[in-house]
Amino acid sequence: MSNQKASFLVVANRLPVDSVTDADGNRHWRRSPGGLVTALHPVLQAEKGTWVGWAGNAGPAPEAFDLEGVRLHPVSISQAEVQRYYEGFSNASLWPLYHDAVETRTFRRSWWAAYEEVNQRFATIAAEEAAQNAVVWVQDYQLQLVPAMLRQMRPDLRIGFFLHIPFPPVELFMQMPQRVQILKGLLGADLVGFQRPFAAQNFLRLTKHLLGLQPRGHYVAVDDDLADERLVRAESFPISIDTATNESIAAEPEVIKRAEEIRNELGDPRTIILGVDRLDYTKGIELRLKAFRELLEDGELSVPDTVMVQVATPSRERVEHYMKLRNKVELEVGRINGDFGQVGGPAVHYLHQSYDRRELTALYRAADIMAVTPMRDGMNLVAKEYVSSRLDNTGALLLSEFAGAAGELHQAYQVNPHDMAALKQGFLEAMHASDTDKIKRMRAMRRHVRKHDVQRWARRFLSALGVPEQQALSRQCLGQRAEGTFTTVNEPT
């Protein structure tokens, strides 16, 4: 393993790997699928990069190791810190607050102390691993203090931060007891990226409201003792998917065959409605089920003509709101099936499981209507994955206005999921639309997702951070290795 310092680092709560056990019982690491990893892997490889993150288990972390040309540096998080930093402050304070407080947020001082401590640990490792003038890209709400902590230790670094979830309006953010610390933590970055323009505006507005700064356009000047005056840029960079890979998986004969099998196994219904979400209260699964039940009650839909498949990926299972949600969702699924199912033919096929990419893509291919109806969501990649899998431009996307993706996928059947009548109407509209209308919409959305893929997202962010585009991604994404190290610029242009 090399001891060389990295010129490009990603710092994220999770490492992009899964621990797997092979047939002989040996454990090893495997790169986990996912757009962020796919987009950043070529840059990490080319720049001898390091990814700093948690391996997902409580207790001491394994030694740093190399995998497919990238150094992975696990961060240890104790059992108590998992409860306070991860389940507590990250997922019971920040997560609900940043998602419009669709569930009650809880603040505990002991959670905050652990959040600070763990953020400091991530920052310290990054500071130790980074070469002079390196570029460090910090990811998401679990690590909002890292930019300032890192800058304090290593003012030479170029620091970017990207928030994958929504950033709340001023009134909501103001509830947070540690609002000033969080804001100052983020202002340690040179570039703070958000999914939507509104989020960037909320952030800039807060710098004025809370800290008395004077934001201008996308910039705000900060004076942090380390430099006379430093400009922080805040802007939206909507994340996307690895469209080319998704499309090629969707075109595989086995995937096409599997999609047909799935339709068969579901009894060849006229319409398959699909939902694929982490089992999270922001995703609007309950509202979606309620709408489906009411449509069955109203006689607008009937089983087995129409069936729903709801994949609900296990998530954050020790956090109270998540336990309660699981009970509520499963009760509702049971109720719908009890009232409307038949022997061997449930109305809702509920799957509380993880799937591999191909099975998920086969589901996307099999579905006539994809229901993505979160109450609030930073982006929602599932919506983009569905669109990219519809190679023949068929299918319909029912999309919540409150998903970040709604800012781009204008041709989806957009609904306000908080309005039950509108949600039901949205289902019917998507169901009864003409083929011509659906194809026109899907074609436009596919074109968008093709052009705006995750590689473009990473390229845009890194070049805004001052990493020259040609060095950052363009050639590496085509599978070529880049030469040289990143050049950093001090002033945003």
Residue 161 Cα distances to 75, 98, 185, 315, 378, angstroms: 19, 16, 10, 24, 15
Residue closer to ligand G6P by CB (options 140, 408) is 140
164 tagged catalytic: yes
Should residue 355 be labelled a site residue for ligand ADP when binding is judged by CB under 6 A? yes
Q: Which residue is nearest to ligand G6P (CB)?
A: 164
- Among the options 73, 164, 218, 349, which is catalytic? 164
Should residue 385 be labelled a site residue for ligand ADP when binding is judged by CB under 6 A? yes
- Among the options 242, 280, 368, 377, which is catalytic? 377
305 tagged catalytic: no
Query: Which one of ligand G6P, ligand ADP, none is in contact with 140 (Cβ closer than 5 to 8 A by kind)?
Result: ligand G6P
Residue closer to ligand G6P by CB (options 413, 457) is 457
Residue closer to ligand ADP by CB (options 381, 398) is 381
Residue 272 Cα distances to 335, 346, 430, angstroms: 19, 12, 12
70-75 and 65-67: which strand pairing?
antiparallel
Residue closer to ligand ADP by CB (options 47, 87) is 87
The correct pick among 121, 151, 158, 164 for binding ligand G6P (CB under 6 A) is 164
Should residue 57 be labelled a site residue for ligand G6P when binding is judged by CB under 6 A? no
The one-character DSSP state at 97 is H
The correct pick among 362, 381, 445, 454 for binding ligand ADP (CB under 6 A) is 381
Using CB under 6 A as the criterion, what x/- string covers residues 111-150 for binding ligand G6P?
-----------------------------x----------
Residue with tokens 């011509």: 436
Site for ligand ADP in 287-326 (CB under 6 A): 311, 313
Q: Are 7 and 485 in contact (CB under 8 A)?
A: yes
Should residue 316 be labelled a site residue for ligand G6P when binding is judged by CB under 6 A? yes
219-222 and 230-236: which strand pairing?
antiparallel
The correct pick among 236, 271, 315, 425 for binding ligand G6P (CB under 6 A) is 315
Least distance between ligand ADP and beta carbon 242 (Å) = 10
Should residue 276 be labelled a site residue for ligand ADP when binding is judged by CB under 6 A? yes
Give all strands of the β-sheet with 191-194 in edge-to-edge order: 65-67, 70-75, 50-54, 6-14, 130-139, 158-162, 191-194, 230-236, 219-222
Residue closer to ligand ADP by CB (options 95, 292) is 95
Paired residues of 158 in beta bridges? 135
Should residue 360 be labelled a site residue for ligand ADP when binding is judged by CB under 6 A? yes
Residue 226 Cα distances to 56, 263, 335, angstroms: 35, 61, 61
Name residues whose C-beta falls within 8 Å of residue 392's C-beta, 6 or more positions apart in sequence.
none
Using CB under 6 A as the criterion, what x/- string covers residues 165-184 for binding ligand G6P?
x-------------------
Residue 123 Cα distances to 101, 126, 133, angstroms: 29, 5, 15
Query: Which one of ligand ADP, ligand G6P, none is in contact with 316 (Cβ closer than 5 to 8 A by kind)?
Result: ligand G6P
Give the CA-trace dihedral at 326, 92, 403, 216, to 10 degrees: 180
Tell me, what amino acid is at 150? L
Q: Hey, which residues are catalytic here?
A: 164, 377
